[in-house]
Amino acid sequence: MRSLFITLGILALTSVLALADEFRDTTHAFLKKHCFECHGEEEQEGGIALHKIDSLDAALRNHLLIENIIEQVHSNEMPPDDQDVLPTTEEKTQVLRALRALSERVQSGDVTQRAGRVTLRRLNRNEYNYTVRDLFGVNFNPSRGFPIDGAGGEGFDNTAAALFSSPTLLEKYLEAAKKVVAQVYQNPRLKKTVIFARPTGPKDTVATAEKVLSFHATLAYRRRVTEDDLNPLLKAFQRGINTGQTYENSLRAPLTALLINPRFLFRSEHDQPGKEEWRLTDFEIATRLAYFLWSSMPDRELFRIADAGKLSDPAVLREQTLRMIASPKSTALARHFAGQWIGFHKMINEAEPDAKRFPEFNFDLRKAMYYEGIEFFTHLLRENRPITELIDSDYTFANATLAKHYGLKEKVTGDTMQKVAIHNKVRGGVLGMGAVLTTTSLPMRTSPVLRGVWILDSLLGAPAPPPPPDAGELPADDTQAGGLTFREQLDIHRKAEQCSGCHSRIDPLGYSLEHFDAIGRWREKDANGKPIDSTAALPGDIEFSSPQELKALIMGGKHKFARNMTRKMLAYATGRGLEYYDEAIVSKIVAKLDTKEYLTQELILQIVQSRPFLNRSRTR
């Protein structure tokens, strides 16, 4: 039956069962025969383990790996020529057809679709800061000493599954909560806002406390509070009163406790037993929206609308999203989404250019590079510019320090970041940003490899496979090149057969940026005084030799870029890694963007209105 359906070309009718059959007979058989020896249970060369793909479901769950297999088999990279038994042309054609059919189904949504499921999400460090700021009006950074949150999924530190709790963290929460409340109590204005009601006498003391506490608990728990929620807080208040403390001081412990309560620290979403998938409540949507755009809690207006049950209305959702984007708080999306995706957040702690080699790299420059990224992305967001300006734009943001560092022609004065026109297009877009150029360099020198890998992975969503461990690295210092230019050394390295496959696709991308040094300055000569060679050629006779030409090249694949950015943003918005059923959603969004000039706000609106953002399913 199966083969009949295929010959008749009515693939759409093929049942999942038949698909599973085909997987077993064609794909799994092929993998077993030709791949397991190096990528199976015994050995996992390059970290690739194909024996785990033993069912259709496993294949779907590893859909990115399937894409990788298609590419490897198609390009004859795998299985390698030195294998005893090589697949016949027919075997190859057959497995490629099966894998591509599967991939097309994933992309088009012709497989089981669901909203997905995110686990209980702890507020990460940044979210904690913004949330206490908005909750109690304090203006400091209480999570400063919190351990850095790990990340998972598409690489963001708001991935629920990668956020853990430990006793150390709890101690820090406790310290932070006390600091926050202490600041409230020390500031008469704040104290009056937080403790907004005072009892007139002993009779209404408890009722007044309840009023104050239920107000803050509602905000802190991001929903209507129940008696269960309030009882422990009121009991604690009562204990204070009973031990002779004042009304205000008795509120102190319960207010502090709000901030270490898991209902505050974790964002939970309700389950509906017996159902496969359900719509989130309005409060849950409000919370998702606020943490997506602001990394913080919903504000009063959003709460009000959620409480009135209006947020499910697409027009209202749209209106609220645009209102929130316009708010200064949406800078959080630039800082934490773009910061982690593009990597300029690494300027905070990780970037470490060698201090002896680059004494110019001081704190002011570090800061300016960081804020260039933030200002740029914020501009795209608020002014609704096309996302493709991340690749190519005729402006950037700089202050005097950065403009001088870049050698910009436009006159820029002062410390404040300002929009600056770029005429020659050397800068403009992330590829000309100091933050990107520095964080893709080593402490002493540039790394065309790292820059190439970054372009493939972060911009185009096509990460390169890992090098073999004994591949070696070039000297850390480019002044020790032993007569050869750095480029010449890299070329030698790249000629080794085991390296050339990948490096012929990676290095040229970085070569074209070689005029930027390891801290993003324009240069004509390398560290040994030899002229920079920035000529680059990719397989297929694609030649280019400057940042401008590289940008044009990437713009030629802007769909790929848009798809990658959409995937990243969907993952950030939902707090989980993407699953195969998300790919069809991404396809739809990218198709829509194509008709909407790739406008940034359109991307956000599409995500906010998507099935995974508004719904939750029983299984992952």
What residues from 164 to 223 belong to the interface with other proteins (CB under 8 A)?
164-172, 174-175, 177-179, 181-183, 186
Nearer to other proteins among residue 122 and residue 563 (C-beta): 122
Neighbours of 239 (CB within 10 A): 13
Let me know: does 156 contact 340? Beta carbons within 8 Å: yes
> Which residues share a beta bridge with 471?
none
> With respect to other proteins, which residue has the nearer C-beta, 382 or 523?
382
Residue number, 119 or 587, with CB nearest to other proteins: 119
How far is the C-alpha of 11 from the C-alpha of 16, rounded, in Å? 11
CA–CA distance from 611 to each of 223, 285, 347, 348, 594 (Å)?
22, 12, 35, 35, 20
* Tokens representing residue 485 in the block: 């230019």
Query: Which of helix, strand or coil describes residue 516?
Result: strand
Minimum separation from the CB atom of position 159 to other proteins (A): 5
Q: Smaller CB distance to other proteins: residue 169 or 197?
A: 169
Q: What sign does the CA torsion over 71, 73, 79, 80 have?
A: negative
Output the smallest distance, CB 49 to other proteins, in A: 7
Size of the chain in residues: 620
- Rule CB under 8 A: choose which of 151, 241, 537, 599 binds other proteins: 151
Query: Of the ranges 14-22, 74-82, 313-321, 371-379, which one interacts with other proteins (CB under 8 A)?
Result: 371-379
In the list 107, 205, 281, 331, the residue contacting other proteins (rule: CB under 8 A) is 331
Distance of CA 21 to the CA centre of its chain: 36
Region 567-596 residues binding other proteins, contact defined as CB under 8 A: 576-577
What are the distances in angstroms from CA 130 to CA 139, 151, 298? 9, 19, 11
Q: Write out the binding residues for other proteins, residues 24-53 only, by CB under 8 A.
A: 43-44, 47, 49
253, 316, 400, 599: residue in contact with other proteins (rule CB under 8 A): 253
Q: Are 576 and 161 in contact (CB under 8 A)?
A: yes
Stretch binding other proteins (CB under 8 A), from 13-21, 95-103, 231-239, 425-433: 231-239
From the list 91-99, 315-323, 325-333, 483-491, the region that binds other proteins by CB under 8 A is 325-333
CA dist 383 → 156, 252, 429, 558, 604 (Å): 25, 43, 16, 20, 13
* Contacting range for other proteins; rule: CB under 8 A; set: 9-17, 77-85, 369-377, 503-511: 369-377
End-to-end Cα separation, the chain, in angstroms: 32
Q: How distant, in Å, are the alpha carbons of 135, 149, 215, 334 from that of 131?
A: 6, 16, 15, 17
Q: Does 257 help bind other proteins (rule: CB under 8 A)?
A: yes
Interface with other proteins in residues 121-140 (CB under 8 A)? 122, 133, 139-140
Q: Report whether the peptide linkage leading into residue 79 is cis, meaning its omega lies within 30 degrees of zero.
A: yes
CA distance 295 to 556: 33
Residues 477-506 that bind other proteins (CB under 8 A): 477, 480
Classify residue 355 by burial, with Cβ atoms within 10 Å: 0-12, 13-18, 19+: exposed
Spatial distance between the Cα atoms of 433 and 428, rounded to a whole number of angstroms: 8
What minimum distance in Å lies between the beta carbon of 525 and other proteins? 19
**Collapsed DSSP state (helix, strand, coil) of residue 392:** coil
Only one of the segments 91-99, 151-159, 427-435, 544-552 lies at the binding site for other proteins (rule: CB under 8 A); that segment is 151-159
Q: CB under 8 A: which stretch of 201-209, 367-375, 503-511, 607-615 binds other proteins?
A: 367-375
Quote the least distance from Cβ 587 to other proteins, whole Å: 21
Smallest gap from residue 76 Cβ to other proteins (A): 23
User: If binding is defined by CB under 8 A, does position 60 make contact with other proteins?
Assistant: no
Provide, rounded to whole angstroms, the least separation between the CB of residue 180 and other proteins: 9
Q: How far are the Cα atoms of 146, 168, 258, 420 from residue 174, in angstroms, in the given order?
A: 11, 10, 10, 45
Binding part of the chain for other proteins, among 21-29, 160-168, 524-532, 592-600 by CB under 8 A, reads: 160-168
In one-letter notation, the amino acid at residue 270 is H
Nearest by Cα to 93 from 75, 107, 74: 74
Q: How far is CA 40 from the centre of its chain?
A: 31
**Contact with other proteins (CB under 8 A) among 199, 465, 501, 557:** 465
Among 453, 570, 604, 605, binds other proteins (CB under 8 A): 453
CB 325, min distance to other proteins, A = 12
Footprint of other proteins on residues 258-317 (CB under 8 A)? 260-263, 265-266, 268, 271
Least Cβ distance, residue 354 to other proteins (angstroms): 5
Q: What is the footprint of other proteins within residues 344-363 (CB under 8 A)?
A: 347-350, 352, 354-357, 363
Closer to other proteins by CB, 162 or 593: give it: 162
Distance CA 136, CA 330 (A): 19
For other proteins (CB under 8 A), the number of binding residues is 112
Stretch that binds other proteins, among 163-171, 195-203, 306-314, 590-598 (CB under 8 A): 163-171
Dist. CA 290–CA 279, nearest whole Å: 17
Kindly identify the residues of this chain, within the stretch 419-448, that bind other proteins according to CB under 8 A: 442-444
| Comparison of 181 and 422: residue with beta carbon closer to other proteins | 181
Which of residues 26 and 447 has its CB atom nearest to other proteins in the complex? 447
Is 293 buried (19+), middle (13-18) or exposed (0-12) by CB count in 10 A? buried
- Applying the rule CB under 8 A, the residues between 372 and 391 that interact with other proteins are 374-375, 378, 382
Binds other proteins by CB under 8 A, chosen from 313, 473, 543, 594? 473
Nearest 5°: CA angle at 130, between 183 and 259?
A: 55
